[in-house]
Amino acid sequence: MTGQLQKISSQDSWIHGTGGRLFVRVWSPELPDSTTPICLLHDSLGSVELWRDFPEQLCAHTGRQVIAYDRLGFGKSDARHEKLPIDFVAREAEGDFAAVRQQLGIGSFIVFGHSVGGGMAIHCAATFGDDCVAVITESAQAFVEDKTVQGIEAARALFTDPEQVSRLRKYHGEKAAWILDAWIGTWLSPAFASWSLRSVLPQLTSPLLVLHGRDDEYGSTRHPELLGQLAGGTTEVVIIDDTRHVPHREREACVVDLVARFLRSHD
């Protein structure tokens, strides 16, 4: 049934993460083509709901189950009060991602991460290499670039508008203020300036698809180039023209098609 639209069902649940309850949603095709699911990791302001209809489209066109969860402190998951540790990107793999896998009974998996979720996806794939069938990163940062800092500075100015914060609160409730500080405060911290994926990328042996918008306001094409150069397995890098930081929303059909074709080539 791959590539054919079919009936998709979804189911919500909560699991016990390392620091509290995590909200999980699973989309399932009526006639699955594979038992290996796609696990989605959201960006710094994201949540399950903010993926919108992308997971359902991905499920329908790949014939695979799609799983997304709200990281601790985001969306419907429990609140988080402490500041993010500097190594929070790496910690997600052996922390809540591992908890999701264990409690949902996920063996082999494909991992798709957007923005900082892309960095987390790299770590998940490197940590659980024997079980990771493939990795897709979208708009992932590989290091702290001047353009990244400038984009976050511009966002900080934007979020001085109460209306913008109110929109964020729609998805995260009273956790919105913590989320903004976790994103802006962490990425602009001098302690985070030396963060990069350079050391973990050679450990990645799973096939890697790197998607990046040419006009991404949070990172130049140096990021996907670096991912492609340093990853230890086979890589495919796609720069999408006339696209900014959220290709799965701006060019949904294109992203779904690229992912479906990539996964078919590695079946």
Which sequence spans correspond to the domains of the chain?
8-265
Half-sphere exposure of 158 (CA within 13 A, CB side): 12
CATH architecture for segment(s) 8-265: 3-Layer(aba) Sandwich (3.40)
Confidence band, pLDDT 50/70/90 cuts, at residue 195:
very high
Helices (H) and strands (E) in the chain, counts: 11, 8
pLDDT of residue 166: 94
Instruction: Kindly give the pairing relationship between strand 66-69 and strand 38-41.
Output: parallel
Mean pLDDT along residues 237-260: 98
pLDDT of residue 15: 97
pLDDT of residue 6: 79
Q: Tokens 């054919």 correspond to what residue?
A: 4
What tokens were used for 126? 């490197």
Q: Is 253 exposed, middle or buried (0-12, 13-18, 19+ CB in 10 A)?
A: exposed
pLDDT of residue 1: 39
pLDDT of residue 2: 43
- Across the chain, mean pLDDT equals 96
pLDDT of residue 66: 98
